[in-house]
């Protein structure tokens, strides 16, 4: 046994965890293991990173951080956590276009599941990937670049194509961001002005427990963009630092109250040195096309009485569409509806089909790294390139050595 995932809701069934320190050693590990799967920083809530064989971490491979000659891209170790990568980027005067709510996750794990932050014009973290080095299950190392045949199928891979060793990412010159929070946004403002609200800053997050109003709105504005609005459709400007979970100390959150700071210290909600979010929790998230967002929000509000007893908080964000086959934002701009559940595993599991049924009419796509109950037929409908991905997975891994029960069920293979 190799322990539990970050949230502790899952004990992996893998027989061992290996951390090779060279590509040659990784090759031997891959050659010897009948069944294997890459493990990142363990932050997924379902068994996507599990196997009944060997888990392989690439965190101990020789570290890599190199900047392209034109300073528009970097190549990094897939096992690097964003929290480590941002130090390298900062020293080079560079930035990623966006980050997730936490910097604790690995690059390889985040891109494999389509992890995203927020922002109308910000694609998922995977959308910044320009090249990948993948060790396929036959032990061969292959380099793939944006524009290569099927590259768009390889980035959000669910860990099903091989072990990603190194990743190239688009970068931009460093920038500063300020966070301005508002409290108690009326639902009517969301209904009437959702597009204006999400366009009011570089990255916008709405936090709610689906009660009388949206409890908090976080505006993350670039210093080189327009300043944040002084008023936000009836919400009240926050006058103290907040945590999305009202009962938690805000000491773990990134600096707010309009104080500008580096991109990496404002785009995530939580600081690297602290436990992000709550810790003992579960998560679920669906992305819906923007033009179905208000209907989807209404559908969740209609079952809020069922969800609330098991919910810590929900977050509503936006994600720009991309071309990646299994990206939850594939080919359409999206609104993401996220649920941070209390650690009530059986009750949450019982609710998941209900939530899935409520959101299915709006072409909702579940986040691959979180908890959901969507059958393979609906997944194939929601992800139009799923069948192409299955064909790709069969080509990369004909003996299904990387498959696990969950991915086999999702992909129908």
Ligand X SMILES: Cc1cc2nc3c(=O)[nH]c(=O)nc-3n(C[C@H](O)[C@H](O)[C@H](O)COP(=O)(O)OP(=O)(O)OC[C@H]3O[C@@H](n4cnc5c(N)ncnc54)[C@H](O)[C@@H]3O)c2cc1C
Residue 131 phi, psi dihedral angles, 5° rounding: -160, 155
The closest alpha carbon to 35, from 409, 411, 407, 376, belongs to 407
Q: Give me the least distance between CB of 231 and ligand X, in Å please.
A: 27
| Nearest residue relative to ligand X (C-beta) | 109
Which range of residues in 44-52, 303-311, 343-351, 383-391 is near ligand X by CB under 6 A? Answer: 44-52
What distance in Å separates the CA atoms of residue 163 and residue 137, rounded to the nearest whole number? 8
What distance in Å separates the CA atoms of residue 359 and residue 295, rounded to the nearest whole number? 9
Q: Give residues 145-164 in contact with ligand X (rule: CB under 6 A).
A: 158-159, 163-164
The smaller minimum CB distance to ligand X, of residues 58 and 337, is found at: 58
Position among 10, 39, 313, 411 found at the interface with ligand X (CB under 6 A): 39
Q: Give me the least distance between CB of 338 and ligand X, in Å please.
A: 7
What distance in Å separates the CA atoms of residue 403 and residue 390, rounded to the nearest whole number? 11
Is 6 an interacting residue with respect to ligand X (CB under 6 A)?
Answer: yes
Q: Rounded to 10 degrees, what is the CA torsion of 104, 107, 111, 115?
A: 20
Contacts for 131 with CB less than 8 Å, ≥ 6 apart: 75, 143, 144, 145, 146, 167, 168
Is 119 an interacting residue with respect to ligand X (CB under 6 A)?
Answer: no
Q: Give residues 339-358 in contact with ligand X (rule: CB under 6 A).
A: none
Contacts for 14 with CB less than 8 Å, ≥ 6 apart: 1, 2, 37, 39, 50, 51, 52, 53, 54, 55
Q: Give me the least distance between CB of 37 and ligand X, in Å please.
A: 5
Name beta bridge partners: 143. Answer: 133
Q: Give residues 66-85 in contact with ligand X (rule: CB under 6 A).
A: 78
Binding mask of the shown chain, residues 258 to 287, with x at each position contacting ligand X by CB under 6 A? ------------------xx-----x----
Q: Give the interface size with ligand X as a residue count (CB under 6 A).
A: 35
Contacts with ligand X, residue ranges (CB under 6 A):
6-7, 37-44, 48-49, 58, 78, 100-102, 105-106, 108-110, 112-113, 115-116, 158-159, 163-164, 276-277, 283, 367, 369
């Amino acid at each position: 046994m190799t322990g539990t995932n970050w949230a502790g809701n899952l004990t992996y069934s893998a027989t061992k965890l290996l951390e090779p320190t060279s590509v040659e050693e990784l090759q031997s590990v891959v050659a010897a293991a009948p069944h294997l799967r890459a493990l990142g920083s363990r932050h997924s809530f379902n068994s996507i990173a599990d196997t009944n064989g060997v888990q392989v971490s690439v965190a101990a491979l020789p570290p890599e951080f190199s900047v392209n000659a034109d300073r528009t891209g970097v190549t990094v170790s897939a096992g690097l956590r964003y929290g480590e990568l941002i130090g390298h980027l900062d020293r080079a005067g560079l930035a990623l276009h966006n980050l997730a709510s936490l910097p604790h996750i690995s690059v390889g794990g985040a891109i494999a599941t389509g992890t995203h932050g927020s922002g109308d014009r910000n694609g998922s973290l995977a959308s910044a990937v320009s090249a990948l080095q993948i060790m396929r299950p036959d032990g061969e190392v292959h380099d793939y670049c944006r524009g290569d045949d099927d590259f768009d199928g390889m980035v959000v891979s669910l860990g099903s194509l091989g072990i990603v060793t190194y990743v190239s990412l688009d970068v931009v010159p460093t920038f500063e961001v300020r966070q301005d929070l508002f409290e108690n946004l009326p639902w009517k403002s969301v209904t009437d002005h959702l597009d204006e609200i999400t366009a009011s800053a570089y990255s916008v997050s709405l936090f709610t427990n689906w009660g009388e109003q949206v409890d908090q709105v976080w505006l993350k504005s670039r210093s080189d963009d327009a300043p944040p609005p002084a008023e936000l459709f009836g919400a009240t400007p926050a006058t103290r630092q907040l945590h999305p979970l009202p009962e938690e100390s805000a000491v773990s959150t990134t600096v707010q109250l309009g104080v500008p700071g580096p991109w990496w210290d404002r785009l995530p909600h939580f600081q690297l040195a602290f436990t992000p979010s709550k810790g003992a929790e579960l998560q679920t998230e669906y992305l819906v096309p923007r033009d179905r967002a208000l209907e989807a929000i209404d559908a969740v509000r209609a079952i809020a009485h069922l969800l609330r007893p098991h919910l810590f908080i929900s977050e509503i964000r936006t994600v720009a569409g991309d071309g990646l086959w299994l990206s939850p934002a594939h080919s359409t701009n999206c609104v993401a509806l996220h649920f941070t559940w209390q650690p009530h595993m059986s009750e949450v599991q019982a609710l998941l089909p209900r939530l899935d049924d409520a959101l299915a009419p709006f072409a909702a796509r579940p986040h691959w790294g979180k908890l959901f109950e969507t059958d393979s037929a609906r997944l194939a409908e929601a992800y139009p390139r799923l069948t192409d991905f299955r064909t790709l997975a069969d080509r990369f891994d004909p003996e299904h050595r990387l498959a696990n029960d969950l991915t086999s069920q999702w992909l129908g293979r």
